[in-house]
Amino acid sequence: MKTCYYCGSEANNKEHLPPKQLFKGFRVDSLTVYSCEKHNNKKSFDDEAIVKSMLIALEKHGIVKNEDIKFSLDVIKLHHSQVKNKISENTLYKQNDIDYNFIVLSPDVKLDDWIKKLSAGLIWYKTK
């Protein structure tokens, strides 16, 4: 029987490590582990919100110079509406009529939980 890397229950899905969202628009081979429905689906929405928030923050601050990152931003913009309720932009401070904004994840995106699940998957993959 296949068991979930995180909770040990019966698993019918595969979880990608690192998340496929980190490589949206690129063909990559990644590690996979077995995952139950609950841990696979919940994590995939968080993957998307977390990765998009990071990329949007890079773009907003003009840090994007790498063509691969520019390509990724173009790809995720097509799907931004899927996570717009999980990401917001707030002004940190304003100086010389310039708003300095930061990206905020909604409280239902648990970054610490996401990191735990990603770590657990990597450990499970390595140790089985």
Check: CB of residue 58 under 8 Å from CB of residue 34: no
| Cα–Cα separations (whole angstroms), residue 102 to 18, 25, 27, 49 | 25, 25, 30, 14
Ranking 1-5, 55-59, 112-116 by mean pLDDT, the lowest is 55-59
pLDDT value of position 11 = 92
pLDDT of residue 87: 77
Residue 55 · residue 76 · CB < 8 Å: yes
* Distance between CA atoms of residues 64 and 10, nearest Å: 42
* pLDDT greater than 70 at residue 54: yes
Q: pLDDT of 86-122, one tens digit each?
A: 777 777 778 888 777 777 788 888 888 888 888 888 8
pLDDT at 17: 77
More confident residue, 126 or 23: 126
Q: What's the confidence (pLDDT) of residue 43?
A: 62
